[in-house]
Amino acid sequence: MDLGIKGKKAIINGGSAGMGKGSALALAKEGVDLFISARGEKRLLETCEEIEKKTGVIVKSIVADHSSDEGREKILSSCPDPDILVGTCTPPPFTYSYEEVSTEEWRQTLDVSLLSPVEFMKAIIPGMVERKWGRIVNIGTGAAKTPAEVRILSGPPRAALVNYSVAVSKKVAKHNVVINNILPGMHHTASIADRYNKLAEENGTTYDEEIEKFVNNWKIPAKKFGSSDDLGSFVAMFCSEQASYVIGQSLVIDGGIGNTTF
């Protein structure tokens, strides 16, 4: 299916790995030119080169922290008039007791996973409205909908982001500016590889065994972790020409672990 977005320009904040990279690749396959930000230069350059080679689109790398004012200025000066914005970050740390979460940890997680996407939306929506075309996808977390103490630094800021983006989506939909969210469950990504390889080393097991343990403990119906590239295809769908009537939705992609009907 042709998504009708060839030649559009996309900022992918946090696109050198994981679901950001999966989204970048899916958009590039549709002929979208990319402006990808990440803090680490080496992995970012490798990712940009890989996507350019695979798809032939223009991929510009921007070494920047999208949670800082300077980082946002750098990203927006590289691409002041994006048609598409995809926002993601490294998952906030796991927490084992709500009582142990410090004010500093709250401030950090709010900066990166709530205030950053809010500031980007405020900065780029006026241009999208003027041009009568825009697509924004925030990659949040299933924990926004299904709270858990262990994900207390991840779920609450994204629940706020979903609420905010739905409110804004209703205001700008008439200008063909479309805002939606993806709420992932467990996926194979760079951060998950770090976490479960470390656990495997500590426990004398393998990555696959640790994933299997998690899948069984948390009873994931699909019996596996998801693929970042598959999730990226759904991001691209939300960025398509055909998405103009899909307003303020939050798609859960979690292998069935969530337990709500809608």
Binding mask 195-224 for ligand NAP (x = CB under 6 A): ------------------------------
Q: Count of residues binding ligand NAP (CB under 6 A)?
A: 35
Nearest to 196 by CA among 186, 187, 206, 204: 206
Q: What is the DSSP code (8-state) at residue 7?
A: T
C-beta neighbour count of 2 within 10 angstroms: 10
Q: Which residues in the 27-66 window bind ligand NAP by CB under 6 A?
A: 37-40, 43, 65-66
**Minimum CB–partner distance for residue 83 and ligand NAP (Å):** 20
Residue 184 backbone phi and psi in degrees, to 5: -80, 150
Q: Is the CB of 14 or the CB of 134 nearer to ligand NAP?
A: 14
Q: Is the CB of 134 or the CB of 226 nearer to ligand NAP?
A: 226
Q: How far apart are the first and last CA of the chain?
A: 26
By CB under 6 A, tell whether 90 contacts ligand NAP.
yes
Q: What is the DSSP code (8-state) at residue 148?
A: -
Beta carbons of 134 and 176 less than 8 angstroms apart: yes
By CB under 6 A, tell whether 91 contacts ligand NAP.
yes
By CB under 6 A, tell whether 253 contacts ligand NAP.
no
Nearest to 192 by CA among 7, 17, 68, 71: 17
Kindly list the residues in this chain that would bind ligand NAP in the complex (CB under 6 A): 13-20, 37-40, 43, 65-67, 88-91, 112, 139-142, 154, 184-187, 189-192, 228
